[in-house]
Chains A and B, each alone.
Chain A
Amino acid sequence: MKNAAVLSQTFPARISATEALIESVATRTDNASELRQAADALDRVGPLYGRASTAEVYAAFAELLRTVALLIEWRTAILTAQADTERFLRAAKAQYQLWLTDYGKVEAAAALVRASAGIDAVKSIEEVGAVCGAIARTPLPLGVFADDSGVPHSRAQQDSEKQEKPEPSELAVAFLRFVIDGVPAAETHFLTPGEAHDLEVEVRVSRWPEQANTLRLTPVTIEPRSSYDFPDFTFARPSGDAPFRMEQRQRAMLRVPQGLQARPFEFKYAAAFEPTGPEEPVVVGQRSLRIEGIDIRQAAMTGYPGIDAKILKVRDHLRSEALINAADLNNVLTVLIPLASLAARTLQDALFKEATGEAYFQSEVRNELRRIPTIASELEEHAQAGGGITDLSFCGIRIELKFEPKKTLALVDCTAFAEQAVSYVVATGKRVGILCVLDHSPKAAAAFPADAGIDVLIVNPTKQAPVYIVVVLIQGNLARPSDLSR
């Protein structure tokens, strides 16, 4: 916004245009050429205005004057008995439609749009004066200062500038797929640490830059180099026409295993042409490899593969929730592992055959957890929260225990117990807790797999603030398998 006054340059054109319009109200006036001259003058001065909207109004006004000039020519042609007079009216209405396309929705030109609405309805020469009068009575905003923005104001100027800019053709590298040991890479893929694996990549390249000899795909990771050996993929310039589809296989290895609490390794492949040129490729597609390096076979959590896999699933779920912090997640996992193990052992060894009630169940679970060195003394019993008494608590993670003597439960039935657990969780200022339910009902059917009794329930006390309850359903009081055959 440069403060150079321009009103003295611009306003004379406005005065001349208004005078011409007022003059053209009279039916016998023939001043189409004056109107066009005024329009040309407005076109010249409009772009001087500093504010785009003022310049745009002036451009709209100038265009409208040209349409009015056609109406005047139509009126004069009829009055002077010229041939084919209707062409002027048709041209005026056609031009007006184009004008509406350009300015009909421009807020700054709204008054001009309203004032010129009569053009479409003109049928007789008597109506032309009314249209001129209506436009003449439309005030225009004042612009005082000159423009230094370089922003084009008129539609024609904008259109011509758009045409001058060529569309850049995109240089893109699309990652189509990763294959590990012949299997398409999963969202999180498991690799045994210390073993070499096949890693195959397939990419599509939209075009090959002039200066480039090779395309290199580099794994980018936060891990220190000593913990992995993932390859670069280098592709030489291919023959033929673009786009190019290319694939390559190499070896990949994790050198160290990871702990349960650790995030999976992440390798994100970047792409660059070499030697480098002025343009960098846009990289699209799935190019991140998330590699789980926990060796469940060598360092099992519970010794039950299905349960271990479920624990990892619960971990991944909770980890993806923004409201759960890392410390709470670790504490939940610390408690979940022995509880999940208990659920599996209860099935294997038919534990809890003669449980007497919730107190008995609680003492069993307490003893079970106390045996775990990382829990032991940190486990509290009957801690207070929310005006109630929680069953067990580990580092602020509430563990609600429930005993069901009659009804055989499925995981979904545990929802009925979730609200109580939630009330303890939120009273502690947490977002996650544990609900462990012992189904001690007499069983008339075979048990379901223990891992199917473990999952995360999402409870929304206020619809906007979810609380996450990890449920472990233990199936006790099992029927003897031979009883189920009768």
Chain B
Amino acid sequence: MATAQYLEVYAGIPEERDLIRSRLIENAYRLMQSPDGLHALLPTLYSSMLGISTMVRAAAAKTLGKLSERRREDVPDLMYEAYTAMLSDPYVIVHSAAAEALFRIDLPPGLRARAQNAIGRLVDGYAVSRQDDGRLLEFMDLYLRRFATEAQLQGQLGTFFVALLEKLKPELIADKLRSLRRLLRHVEGFADLVVKVLADPQITEYREEDLMRTLNDLPVAAIQKLLPQLEAIASAAQGPRSLPANLVETLTRTGAWSEAVRINEAIYAKIPDTTERRPLKLRVNLDRLAAKYEEAIALGHLNALPALAREWRETEAQIEIDRKQHEKRRRPFPDIPGPH
């Protein structure tokens, strides 16, 4: 019933009212959740893909991408053929919408090469013009996820994509690093790219978690080549304690004990020994001691361990004393829950 009404309304809208037509087409997927709905609306969607309005064509691509997986499986190949042609549409609004939908659409085997060529051309075109690096990055991401094989990525293709990424602004690639890491983490130069982004304090302020996950997924050998840069980033960090502490985790995973110790020493030294800052300084001292403990083990200095263990326990005791001593001052309203 709703489908019939939809079709009746849509048929009554003049061709030139393409804004409202595109809105209706863009939402058509809501009525296409059953085979019946798909059957009823697919001819309209198909003709929208071939229409003269760029807005309506783009809306049709979006709707195809929004269909549920089961319904997309029910769509005939001819529909996907028309959709694939939109990937080569000269209008930005159309090929961008089609490319975005391709993240979800699994094309029939006969059309994959055609889609791959189209996305490859978009990457080439946008890489040359550099007029819209955001879209370029989207197309690169799409190409890598959908078409690049492992063998290709280990060859020239991977190098080509990393070289392209190097030309883009760090704040732009920060958004995509996490999704690109799965495919490019073994490609030479990708690790440098991650460090380049990580070195930008404005990005780490809001992207730290993503960046750390990306860094931690890199091969150990790649991280080991970047130890000086990572140490410099951690030691110079001015923001919250989490970035250097996260980097210490990463460094200890790769066996960089001395770098981890130096970072913790630097952070510890920066914290003034005031009443206000003492709890933090004591906690950071625990980090420092833990790193020194593992470093001593790594160096085979087992005789240093008892002293470090003793210092650890003394610091724990100092934390407790400090907490009790300043409890009222730091929590004047004890009934209100604290941050931890």
Interface residues, chain A, with chain B CB atoms under 8 Å away = 1, 3-5, 7-8, 11-12, 14-15, 18-19, 22, 50-51, 53-54, 107-108, 111, 136-145, 216, 218-225, 263, 266-268, 270-272, 276, 280, 283, 288, 320, 322-323
B287 to A144, Cβ gap below 8 A? yes
Among candidates A140, A144, A145, A225, residue contacting B294 with C-beta atoms closer than 8 Å: A140
Complex Cα–Cα for A225 and B246 (A): 61
The answer to whether A8 and B286 touch (CB under 8 A), given A54-B253, A222-B79, is: yes
Q: Is B316 an interface residue, CB under 8 A from the partner?
A: yes
- Kindly list chain A residues whose C-beta atoms are within 8 Å of the C-beta of B220: 107
- In the complex formed, the residue of B with least CB distance to A18 is B305
- The 9 A-B residue pairs with the shortest CB-CB distance, nearest first, are A270-B35, A322-B113, A222-B46, A322-B114, A270-B74, A139-B298, A266-B76, A144-B245, A141-B252
Q: Is B331 an interface residue, CB under 8 A from the partner?
A: no
- In the complex formed, the residue of A with least CB distance to B298 is A139
Main secondary structure, interface of A, reads mixed
Interface residues, chain B, with chain A CB atoms under 8 Å away = 34-36, 38-39, 42-43, 45-46, 70-71, 73-79, 81-82, 110-111, 113-114, 117, 209, 212-213, 216, 220, 240, 242, 245-246, 248-249, 252-253, 255, 257, 260, 283, 286-287, 290-291, 293-295, 297-298, 300, 302, 305-306, 309, 312, 316, 319, 340
Complex Cα–Cα for A323 and B116 (A): 11
- Kindly list chain A residues whose C-beta atoms are within 8 Å of the C-beta of B305: 18-19, 22
A18 to B35, Cβ gap below 8 A? no
Return A303 CB to nearest CB of chain B, in Å: 29
- In the complex formed, the residue of A with least CB distance to B245 is A144
Main secondary structure, interface of B, reads helix
B294 to A142, Cβ gap below 8 A? yes
- In the complex formed, the residue of B with least CB distance to A111 is B255
The answer to whether A145 and B74 touch (CB under 8 A), given A108-B253, A271-B35, A272-B35, is: no
Give the one of A8, A276, A288 with max B CB within 10 A.
Answer: A8
Complex Cα–Cα for A48 and B213 (A): 17
- Kindly list chain B residues whose C-beta atoms are within 8 Å of the C-beta of A142: 248-249, 252, 260, 287, 290-291, 294
Complex Cα–Cα for A179 and B186 (A): 51
Among candidates A8, A137, A216, A320, residue contacting B316 with C-beta atoms closer than 8 Å: A8
- Kindly list chain B residues whose C-beta atoms are within 8 Å of the C-beta of A224: 43
- Kindly list chain A residues whose C-beta atoms are within 8 Å of the C-beta of B295: 139
- Kindly list chain B residues whose C-beta atoms are within 8 Å of the C-beta of A15: 293, 309, 312
- In the complex formed, the residue of A with least CB distance to B82 is A222
- Jot down 18 A-B pairs with beta carbons below 8 A, ordered by A: A1-B212, A8-B319, A22-B302, A51-B216, A54-B253, A108-B253, A142-B290, A144-B245, A144-B287, A145-B249, A221-B42, A221-B78, A222-B79, A225-B43, A266-B76, A267-B76, A270-B39, A322-B110
The answer to whether A139 and B257 touch (CB under 8 A), given A3-B242, A144-B248, is: yes
Give the one of A18, A107, A108, A138 with max B CB within 10 A.
Answer: A18
- Kindly list chain A residues whose C-beta atoms are within 8 Å of the C-beta of B316: 8, 12
Complex Cα–Cα for A12 and B316 (A): 10
- Kindly list chain B residues whose C-beta atoms are within 8 Å of the C-beta of A219: 39
- In the complex formed, the residue of A with least CB distance to B290 is A11
Complex Cα–Cα for A136 and B295 (A): 13
Give the one of A137, A140, A220 with max B CB within 10 A.
Answer: A220
- Kindly list chain A residues whose C-beta atoms are within 8 Å of the C-beta of B294: 139-142
- Kindly list chain B residues whose C-beta atoms are within 8 Å of the C-beta of A137: 297, 300, 302
Complex Cα–Cα for A267 and B43 (A): 12
Complex Cα–Cα for A232 and B75 (A): 16
- Kindly list chain B residues whose C-beta atoms are within 8 Å of the C-beta of A263: 78, 81
Complex Cα–Cα for A357 and B231 (A): 81
Complex Cα–Cα for A1 and B240 (A): 14
Complex Cα–Cα for A11 and B71 (A): 53
A283 to B73, Cβ gap below 8 A? yes
B240 to A7, Cβ gap below 8 A? no
- Kindly list chain B residues whose C-beta atoms are within 8 Å of the C-beta of A19: 305-306, 309
Return B246 CB to nearest CB of chain A, in Å: 7
Known A220-B42, A271-B35, A276-B34; further 19 A-B contacts with Cβ < 8 A: A5-B245, A14-B293, A19-B309, A51-B253, A53-B253, A54-B253, A111-B255, A136-B297, A139-B255, A139-B297, A142-B248, A142-B294, A144-B249, A145-B246, A218-B39, A221-B39, A222-B76, A270-B39, A322-B110
